[in-house]
Amino acid sequence: MGRLDGKRAVITGAASGIGEATARLFVAEGASVVLADVDTGRGERLAAELGERASFVATDVSSEADVTAAVATCVRVFGGLEVMFNNAGVPGASGGIEDIDVASWDHTLGVHLRGVFLGIRAAARVMRPQGYGSIINTSSVAAFRANLGGHAYSAAKAAIRQLTVTTANELGEHGVRVNAVCPGAVATAIFGRAAGLDGEAAQRTVGFITAALSEAAPIPRTGQPVDIAEAVLWLASDAASFVNGQAIAVDGGLLTGTPRRSRPVSTEELFALLRDAAEQTAGESADT
């Protein structure tokens, strides 16, 4: 028996990375899934591979009409909607605050915050009347701390976290739960995209990033998309039926702080240096 038997889901950003891993896991666990993404090539190939319980819909999440159509397709093709995973994302505007151009700020907020708003709204229009459903939004550890994403990206992810809270509060009494996942460093093409690479070139950087980010968190490995997919699956499933309004970090402990092993000087070394410093300046102290 699958953990999502019979559930119908829309997953945005499903053609790559976290969305792709979630789509694969959802289908393996018995769900039917609409894959919504701007990347038609990868999206259609994945839908073909996953078979009759997957359908690709070309979707720009910042377009009201596209998001409405993706949800309508799920209801029409699979007969309903129990799960909405608002996950599509871009690395977004980069640079210091004085240098960010307004168009790239708007694009970053448009894909992330407007995209999640449109996804929650479209899903709520189906789920509130039926009296059940689970909405999951992809926020980030960048919603909590600086330097884990650019200014626009981090602001959008924090706003997504709070939109999760306010909509969870409104929709809970109608049987609709809204939660967020906050991934840490996860090996996907998003880092290659941040470096200006597109398509398959960005995908080819995943191995490099797996090695490069392995020391970022207390758990000494880079996150894999399936790590996030498992948390999303749990939030989508009936096992999480009393979980509402949460932002769950899946980050190997990154938000707990710098790993002990990565501190420039260990505690023991620091204590030894302090004792040395006191000894070396003992004469000076006595003179003053």
Ligand X SMILES: NC(=O)c1ccc[n+]([C@@H]2O[C@H](COP(=O)([O-])OP(=O)(O)OC[C@H]3O[C@@H](n4cnc5c(N)ncnc54)[C@H](O)[C@@H]3O)[C@@H](O)[C@H]2O)c1
Contact at 8 Å (CB) between 36 and 59?
yes
Cα separation, 190 vs 206, in Å, equals: 9
Cβ of residue 275: shortest distance to ligand X, in angstroms?
A: 41
Which span (33-41, 95-103, 231-239, 264-272) binds ligand X, by CB under 6 A?
A: 33-41
Nearer to ligand X, 109 or 240 (CB): 109
Number of helices followed by number of strands (H, E) in the chain: 12, 7
Nearer to ligand X, 40 or 266 (CB): 40
Amino acid at 145: R
Cα separation, 163 vs 149, in Å, equals: 19
* Contact string (CB under 6 A) for ligand X, positions 54-73, x = contact: -----xxxx-----------
Which span (15-23, 73-81, 127-135, 256-264) binds ligand X, by CB under 6 A?
A: 15-23
Cβ of residue 68: shortest distance to ligand X, in angstroms?
A: 14
Which candidate, 223, 132, 123, places its Cα nearest to that of 164? Answer: 123
What is the distance, to the nearest Å, from the Cα of residue 173 to the centroid of all Cα atoms in its chain?
A: 26
Cβ of residue 176: shortest distance to ligand X, in angstroms?
A: 21
Count the residues of the shown chain that bind ligand X, applying the rule CB under 6 A: 28
Nearer to ligand X, 87 or 237 (CB): 87
* 153 in catalytic set: yes
CA count, 13 A, side-chain hemisphere, 31: 31
Residues 174 to 193 in contact with ligand X, rule: CB under 6 A = 183, 185-186, 188-190, 193
Per-residue b or e along 88-111, where b marks 16 or more CB atoms closer than 10 Å to that residue's CB? bbbbbbbeeeeebeeebbebbbbb
Cα separation, 187 vs 212, in Å, equals: 10
User: Considering 133, 153, 232, 233, which one is annotated as catalytic?
Assistant: 153
Which candidate, 232, 245, 181, places its Cα nearest to that of 9? Answer: 232
Nearer to ligand X, 175 or 214 (CB): 214
Which of 38, 57, 163, 232 is in the footprint of ligand X by CB under 6 A? 38
Which span (13-21, 118-126, 230-238, 276-284) binds ligand X, by CB under 6 A?
A: 13-21
Which residues carry out catalysis? Answer: 153
Question: Which stretches of the chain bind ligand X, using CB under 6 A?
Answer: 12-13, 15-19, 37-39, 59-62, 87-90, 111, 138, 140, 183, 185-186, 188-190, 193
